[in-house]
Amino acid sequence: MILEAIVLILQIFIFPGFLFLLLMSFFIEWYKRKLFARMQNRVGPKYIGYKGILQPIADFFKLLSKEVIELERADNHLIDLSLLMASSIFIYVCFFLPFAGRPLISFEGDLIAVLLLTSAASFMLFAIGWSMSSPYGMIGGMRLLAQVIGFEIPYFILALVPAYITKSLSIFEIGRRMSSVLLSNPAYLIPWSISIPLFLVATQIELEEAPFHIPDAEQELVAGYFTELSGRRLALLDLAKDTQLLFCSAFMASIFFGAGSPFYQNPLLGFIMTMVEILIIAFFIVAIKASAARLAISNVLDMMWKYLVPSSALILAISLLLGGV
């Protein structure tokens, strides 16, 4: 009993809990920056650590030591609270994902819980922009809100497609059953394979990466909703964004590809398989980021409401028909 409690505490704080997720976020930031640079024929982080792998940690600590410049008119409590909420939510939802074969928390219906929590976190990011009274912050926040409202619906619907295919609402169960279900009912391959690129696009919109990096439209709005953040606030925001990238890649890997659930008895093999899938998905995210210009907000709204929503509803309808409602 005591041993189980100690193991649980170690799992929560070290692996696959806080420390592990923190280090994984930094690792995935390094991966993103290095890959992005190499795709552009540049070098990327190089000097801090082996091939620059400690660069994000160095950036984090440097930002922690800088002065926080607060605006008088801004609602500083709301900014700090929203930042804390956003970063902690993104770390928390990673507990539901099978990083080490078996997730820390898993219950029937945790898919819906995770989706709701990530919407709340995206809304927190908007709250940061809103509570700053500078025009850059507010316009950036409003653009982010328009994007968030638009991508949430196709994101939900497409996440329900594997849930329906495997007849389960728990991320762990979906991952475990996905390969067997696909092998036994090959008809399900159609909605499964079509929803993968659509889900990737929706993920790209959520992450605000190219071609959807509108809230961070550097040239027009300085930095959108995080213009006035400095010091430890910026460090926390960077951490939140990195954890968001980690979560989104891992989420997509878990519900579409299984991500380590087949090895739920073996943490090490589960971890390796999860990492491989995460890195492949992150590769595609970065590749699209590197080869696209920025769309205007009107184009993005068009794309979301005219194309993504109807097609995701169609895919869900197809999977419902195939499975027999």
Partner 1 sequence: MLKLFGEILGNLKRRPATIDVPFEKIEVEEIYRGLEFLDIDKCIGCGACALDCPAAAIEMVEFKEVNRKLPIFIIGRCVFCAQCEDTCPYEAIKMTREVPKPFFSFEEDKMKIVPKELRPLEKRPQPKPLPPPPPAKG
Partner 2 sequence: MSTFTMLLPFGPQHPMLHEPAHFRFEVDGETVVNVTPYLNYVHRGIEKLLENRTYVQGLYVAARVCGICNPSHTNAFVAAVEEAMGIEPPPRAKYLRVVTQEIHRIQSHLILLAVAAEEMGFNSLFMLIWRDRERILRLIEAITGGRVMQSYDRIGGVYRDINDILAERVIKELSEMRNRVIQYRKVFSEDPIVRRRTVDVGVLKTAEMVRLGGVGPFARASAVDYDVRRDHRSNHVAYDEVPFNVITREECDVWARLIARVDETLECINMIEYALKHMPSGAIRYRAPRAAPKGAEGIGRVEAPRGELVHHTISDGQRPYRHRIRTPSFANVFPAAKAHIGYSIADIPMIYVSWDPCFSCLARVTLVDIRSGTAKVISGEELRREARRRWEK
Half-sphere exposure of 267 (CA within 13 A, CB side): 6
Q: Which amino acid is located at 302 in the chain? A: D
> Among residues 42 and 66, whose Cβ is nearest to partner 1?
42
Distance CA 232, CA 162 (A): 39
User: By CB under 8 A, how many residues form the interface with partner 2?
Assistant: 24
Q: Is 41 in the site for partner 1 (CB under 8 A)?
A: yes
Closest CA to 238 of 224, 226, 228: 226
Q: How far apart are the first and last CA of the chain?
A: 44
In a 3-state reduction of DSSP, which class is residue 81?
helix
Answer for which of 19, 280, 296, 314 binds partner 2 (CB under 8 A) is 296
- Find the radius of gyration of the CA atoms of the chain: 20
Residue 185 φ then ψ, to 5°? -120, 85
Q: How far is the CB of 301 from partner 2 (least distance, A)?
A: 12
Span from 12-20, 45-53, 249-257, 286-294 in contact with partner 2 (CB under 8 A): 286-294
The answer to whether 13 and 21 are in contact (CB under 8 A) is no
The two three-digit tokens of residue 65, written as one number: 């030591």
Distance CA 276, CA 6 (A): 29
3-state helix, strand and coil shares in percent for the chain, rounded to the nearest 5: 75, 0, 25
Answer for which of 292, 301, 318, 320 binds partner 2 (CB under 8 A) is 292
Cα angle 316, 321, 325; round to 5: 95
> Among residues 65 and 219, whose Cβ is nearest to partner 2?
219
Q: Is 46 in the site for partner 2 (CB under 8 A)?
A: no
Q: Is 133 in the site for partner 1 (CB under 8 A)?
A: no
Q: Which positions from 277 to 306 touch partner 1 by CB under 8 A, shown as an x/- string?
A: ----------xx-xxx--------------
Span from 35-43, 75-83, 118-126, 246-254 in contact with partner 2 (CB under 8 A): 35-43
Span from 119-127, 150-158, 234-242, 294-302 in contact with partner 2 (CB under 8 A): 294-302
Residue 248 φ then ψ, to 5°? -65, -40
Span from 49-57, 66-74, 89-97, 295-303 in contact with partner 2 (CB under 8 A): 295-303
Q: Which positions from 126 to 165 touch partner 2 by CB under 8 A, shown as an x/- string?
A: ---------x---x--------------------------
> Among residues 29 and 173, whose Cβ is nearest to partner 2?
29
Q: Using CB under 8 A as the criterion, which residues of the chain lie in contact with partner 2 when the complex forms?
A: 39-42, 135, 139, 210-211, 213, 217-220, 222, 290-299
